[in-house]
Structure 1
Amino acid sequence: MNSLIENITAIQMESPVDKIIGQLKQLITSGQLKPNDRLPAERVLSEKFGVGRGYIREAILKLEFYGLLKTNPQSGTYVAGLSINVIDSIISDIIKFNKDDFNALLEARYHLELNAVKLAAERRTAEDLVEIKRALELYEQKINTSATAVEEDMLFHVKIAKASKNSVIESMILILIPDLIKNIVETKICGENRGKTAIPEHREILNAIELQDVNLAEKAMAGHLNEIWQISKAGFATEKIIKEIKG
């Protein structure tokens, strides 16, 4: 009986934003919304979903960082390019069904994020810093309500990638990060309290970027990713690499 009770987990209630994101992402990845299709007006979406416009705005903002939507202030919000959608769908399948490829994606994320954070520390602008700080605030607010913060976590990392001023790194992270973080949270490979323990790590990364200290930024990001590497058992020599960076 005790073992049975231990296997019961708390039900996670989806927020209105999460439900909107889920439906829109499904429409995009299924092809019902095709590349360059324009989304209905914010008012129409609000009425259709039965929620306030604020929820619609937040959902659209987050989906932009998934690489699934792009907004033109003059003409509206559109579905992004086909290549991102196709790869997004492929990666979702890989993460779900193939452990070896999932570990390979973790390795790719590790190297991409280290390079992104180093470049961000070197090249970030004052505007970039404001956006990274805001992303971290959103993450902390969500975590402090005892809710999961998958999109907010992803947003923080994407803002860092944007600050790198390297469009290739930014695009790759846009493709990899969303489903990787989602899978890590769902499988709980880092433990149920990972969201809270990541807060000081995120702050260290932000501080290093603000100071424009490239070495400190790299070490902070390596430390942030360390637990994932230790638990994943990927078969790569990643733990050694991280220790060498921490030096």
Structure 2
Amino acid sequence: MKLNGLEKIEKLPEDKENVEEVIISKIRELIVSKHLEPGDRLPAERDLAERFGVSRNQLRQAIQKLEFYGLVKKYPQSGTRISNIGVTALNGMMSDILQLQNPDFKSLVETRIILEKNAVRLAATRRTESQIHQIKKAHEAYSEKAIQGLDAIEEDLMFHIKLAEASNNSVINSLMLIITPEIIAHFVKNKICDKEENFLLIKEHQAIVDAIEEKNADKAVASLNDHFKELYKYCNKQ
């Protein structure tokens, strides 16, 4: 295998997303320089991590992102291979992925709103009893912390992810998993919520839960719109 183009990354960024970006850039360089070509098997995880000077976990995360976008594929008996779609297409798609690493916040929010409106509409008609139970549990976990004025980012994230899961649409669910964590973390980090606002958010969550439990799609979307009012306002200030 043509591996003489592999060079160690001299200084890794501190941010996890930036590390992934650097690793993807390095793999892209190997493809553009023809040290790796469509259909080639990637070097062993340990070897590639050592040559790049990154941890195996960091490398794994970057490769998982490439796999999600279909640029590499894992095969049970022959490891991970570069997708056989041509160098020009691979180069262009990797460039697009790298540009997606740091999308503007407003675009993320707009995309999330489009996705989640469709998610709750589908959830109201498709959810199972088990899924409504999971949504309620996530809502309760969020409420317990929010009432006390505690940081509930993870609980809020889990609530919205459970809504997406209940849509029973795997693509919507996957896209929500990609964009929602960054939005919620950014929103909470840059906006101080007092207890009064926490109680309002709990009430809004409950309205969404009730609508999905009642299998009322229109009510679910309307409740979500109410919940997004503050997000709209905050986004428009950016």
For the superposition of Structure 1 and Structure 2, which TM-score range results when normalised by the shorter chain?
0.5 to 0.7
Give secondary structure in 2 for the equivalent of 1:221: helix
Give secondary structure in 1 for the equivalent of 2:112: helix
Aligned length: 164
The answer as to whether partners of 2:149 and 2:198 remain within 8 angstroms in 1 is: no
The answer as to whether partners of 1:104 and 1:234 remain within 8 angstroms in 2 is: no
Aligned counterpart in structure 1 of residue 65 of structure 2, from 78, 82, 92: 82
Measure the CA separation in 2 of the matches of 1:90 and 1:195: 35
5+ unaligned residues in a row in structure 1: which ranges? 1-24, 38-67, 69-78, 95-100, 236-247
1:36 shift after superposition: 9.8
- Aligned identity (percent) is 33
The answer as to whether partners of 1:148 and 1:195 remain within 8 angstroms in 2 is: no
Give secondary structure in 2 for the equivalent of 1:165: coil
Alignment of 1:68-217 (within 5 A): 81-83=64-66, 93-94=102-103, 101-188=104-191, 191-193=193-195, 194-217=197-220
Regions of 4+ moved over 2 Å: 29-37, 79-94, 190-196
Q: 1:51-109 CA distances to partner (integer Å, 9 max, x unpaired)?
A: xxxxxxxxxxxxxxxxx8xxxxxxxxxx9933469999976744xxxxxx211111101
Aligned CA RMSD, in angstroms, stands at: 3.3
Q: Does residue 34 in structure 1 map to residue 57 in structure 2?
A: yes
Distance 1:35 1:120, change over 3 A: farther
Partner of 1:58: none
Amino acid paired to 2:126: R
Give secondary structure in 1 for the equivalent of 2:57: coil
1:32 shift after superposition: 2.7
Distance 1:218 1:148, change over 3 A: same
TM-score under structure 1 length normalisation:
0.57
Partner of 1:16: none
The answer as to whether partners of 2:212 and 2:220 remain within 8 angstroms in 1 is: yes
Measure the CA separation in 2 of the matches of 1:180 and 1:221: 16
Alignment of 1:223-242 (within 5 A): 223-233=226-236
The answer as to whether partners of 1:91 and 1:176 remain within 8 angstroms in 2 is: no
Amino acid paired to 2:145: K
Partner of 1:11: none
Distance 1:80 1:202, change over 3 A: farther
1:35 shift after superposition: 7.9
5+ unaligned residues in a row in structure 2: which ranges? 1-14, 21-53, 70-93
Q: 1:131-187 CA distances to partner (integer Å, 9 max, x unpaired)?
A: 001101110112123211111001000001001010110001000100100000011
Amino acid paired to 1:102: F
Amino acid paired to 1:82: K
Q: Which has the larger Rg?
A: 2
TM-score under structure 2 length normalisation:
0.59
1:227 shift after superposition: 1.4
Measure the CA separation in 2 of the matches of 1:142 and 1:88: 36
Distance 1:141 1:32, change over 3 A: farther
